């Protein structure tokens, strides 16, 4: 191996990890090694997962083998990561030890239903975790057999990834049950500890999204913190009292993956990083996506610090920034770019329409956000995004990249 060759290990082949590995491979010659590690051989595109729950996609349409989504020359290792040894610069998997010069951590979140008393037991009955594909498939069967009663979508704790998802799901279910002629017999409620939907996007966007839900007859139960679930009585115990359900769709509490905690990276919950460079306090170690903690300079309410939301759109563009910087450093170039916190996320509203929540999240005194009202064209744009994400065609991806970087995510980076 040439003396100046470098090894970059990317942990996790989800949104952030895939983009990082592919961008690095594109920018670096073959003397440098890019290793991507994930315990699963399949990548699941969760931004399409709610369509599976309502029968608009089959599960096969939202997943693909990781090896079919990586550029030639990315070494994909399918194995469980067991230890990150920061002092020794080694990643230990169940089968081998791998040495790195640069490490990118994009391991997402672990779901922790066991932290809500009774929730795990309820998930064996008529409560479903819609944050895993397995849970979504079970929820799909339950939704197909559901014809009347209380349907509750519950956010168990903050923060959770994709703050759009519970609200979007309620709107998709409104459309799903309306089309089946069952809507008048079903009460849809979203119960959450939040004050308004999508708190990071601020009160204006939150009120618009809440308004969309109210127009669809969805009750938004804000500031409801779950204490326990009693599945014998089909009852949720909130700090504000109890509520009965016939069907419960749950976002379980999130925590950092165990290997991150054991490596001493979580402080105390997620991995703190510089907002522009995504560097951790450890040399040549970066953390992006859901497992990272990015403190925002602005605030919506004085004295209430904000963290960047967890979402695929953030992981994707953070990955592009760090890959460019790592590659430039390895190639001896002084050019650096900085992440600007620019992001945009579709909000499906049912009946073939979607809105778009856009924002610059690093502005002061508040993030600078806007919500584009639901339209057919935005729904079709989301479908194009879905096709881009799981596409193997370099030409199609190139065209879509041009479109996304010049319209949806323009200015996601600036020269550092």
Ligand X SMILES: Cc1cc2nc3c(=O)[nH]c(=O)nc-3n(C[C@H](O)[C@H](O)[C@H](O)COP(=O)(O)OP(=O)(O)OC[C@H]3O[C@@H](n4cnc5c(N)ncnc54)[C@H](O)[C@@H]3O)c2cc1C
Binding test (CB under 6 A) with ligand X, winner from 12, 135, 166, 202: 12
Binding test (CB under 6 A) with ligand X, winner from 202, 257, 350, 355: 257
Site for ligand X in 43-82 (CB under 6 A): 46-47, 49-50, 80-81
What is the DSSP annotation of 247-309?
EEEEE--EE--HHHHHTT--SSSSEE--TTT-B-SSTTEEE-GGGEE-B-S--SSTT---BPP
Distance of closest approach, residue 364 Cβ to ligand X, in angstroms: 24
165 interacts with ligand X by CB under 6 A: yes
Binding test (CB under 6 A) with ligand X, winner from 313, 337, 356, 408: 313
Decide: 128 and 146 in contact? Cβ < 8 Å.
no
Paired sense of beta strands 110-111 and 254-255, if any: antiparallel
CA dist 314 and 309 (Å) reads 8
153 interacts with ligand X by CB under 6 A: no
CA dist 196 and 175 (Å) reads 22
Decide: 359 and 201 in contact? Cβ < 8 Å.
yes
Distance of closest approach, residue 401 Cβ to ligand X, in angstroms: 16
CA dist 198 and 163 (Å) reads 5
**Residue placing its CB nearer to ligand X in the complex, 234 or 256:** 256
Helices then strands, counting H and E runs in the chain, come out as 11, 27
The partner residues of 85 in beta bridges, in order of sequence, read 90
379 interacts with ligand X by CB under 6 A: no
**Contact range with ligand X by CB under 6 A, out of 15-23, 196-204, 225-233, 268-276:** 15-23
**Residue placing its CB nearer to ligand X in the complex, 255 or 397:** 255
**Contact range with ligand X by CB under 6 A, out of 35-43, 148-156, 192-200, 269-277:** 35-43
326 interacts with ligand X by CB under 6 A: no
Tell me 365's DSSP state. S
Tell me 321's DSSP state. H
**Residue placing its CB nearer to ligand X in the complex, 234 or 247:** 247
CA atoms within 13 Å, Cβ hemisphere of 368: 8
Tokens 């804000």 belong to residue: 222
Distance of closest approach, residue 73 Cβ to ligand X, in angstroms: 20
Two tokens, residue 357: 């929540």
Site for ligand X in 272-291 (CB under 6 A): 289-290
Binding test (CB under 6 A) with ligand X, winner from 17, 135, 202, 350: 17
**Residue placing its CB nearer to ligand X in the complex, 234 or 312:** 312
105 interacts with ligand X by CB under 6 A: no
Q: How many residues bind ligand X (CB under 6 A)?
A: 35
Q: Is 235 helix (H, G, I), strand (E, B) or coil?
A: strand
13 interacts with ligand X by CB under 6 A: yes
Interacting residues toward ligand X by CB under 6 A? 12-17, 37-40, 46-47, 49-50, 80-81, 106-108, 130-131, 161-162, 164-165, 257, 259, 289-290, 310-313, 315, 345
């Amino acid at each position: 191996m040439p003396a100046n060759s470098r090894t970059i290990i990317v942990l996790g082949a989800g949104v952030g990890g895939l983009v990082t590995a592919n961008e690095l491979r594109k920018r670096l010659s073959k003397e440098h090694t890019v290793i991507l590690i994930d315990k699963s051989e399949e990548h699941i595109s969760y931004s399409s997962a709610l369509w599976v729950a309502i029968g608009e996609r089959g599960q096969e349409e939202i997943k693909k083998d990781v090896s079919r989504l990586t550029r030639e020359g990315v070494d994909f290792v399918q194995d469980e990561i067991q230890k990150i040894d920061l002092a020794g610069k080694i990643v230990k998997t169940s089968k081998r030890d791998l040495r790195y010069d640069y490490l990118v951590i994009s391991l997402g979140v672990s779901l922790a239903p066991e932290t809500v008393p009774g929730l795990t037991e309820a998930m064996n009955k008529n409560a479903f975790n819609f944050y895993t594909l397995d849970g979504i498939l079970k929820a799909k069967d339950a939704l197909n057999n559901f014809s009347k009663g209380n349907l509750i979508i519950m956010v168990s704790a903050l923060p959770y990834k994709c703050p759009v998802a519970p609200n979007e799901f309620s709107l998709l279910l409104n459309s799903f049950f309306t089309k089946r002629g069952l809507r008048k017999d079903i009460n849809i409620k979203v119960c959450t500890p939040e004050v308004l939907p999508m708190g990071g996007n601020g009160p204006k966007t939150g009120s618009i999204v809440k308004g969309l839900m109210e127009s669809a007859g969805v009750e938004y139960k804000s500031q409801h913190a779950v204490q326990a679930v009693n599945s014998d009585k089909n009852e949720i115990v909130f700090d504000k009292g109890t509520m009965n359900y016939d069907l419960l769709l749950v976002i379980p509490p999130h925590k950092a993956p165990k290997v991150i905690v054991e490596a001493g990276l979580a402080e105390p919950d997620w991995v703190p990083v510089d907002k522009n460079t995504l560097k951790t306090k450890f040399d040549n170690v970066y953390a992006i996506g859901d497992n990272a903690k990015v403190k925002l300079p602005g605030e919506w309410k004085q004295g209430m610090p904000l963290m960047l939301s967890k979402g695929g759109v953030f992981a994707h563009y953070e990955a592009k920034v760090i890959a460019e910087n790592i590659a430039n450093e390895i190639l001896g170039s002084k050019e650096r770019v900085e992440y600007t916190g620019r992001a945009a996320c579709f909000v499906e509203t049912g009946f073939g329409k979607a809105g778009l929540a856009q924002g610059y999240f690093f502005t002061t005194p508040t993030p600078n956000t806007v919500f584009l009202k639901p339209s057919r064209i935005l729904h079709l744009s989301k479908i194009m995004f879905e096709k881009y994400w799981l596409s193997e065609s370099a030409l199609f991806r190139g065209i879509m990249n041009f479109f996304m970087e010049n319209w949806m995510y323009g200015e996601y980076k600036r020269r550092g």
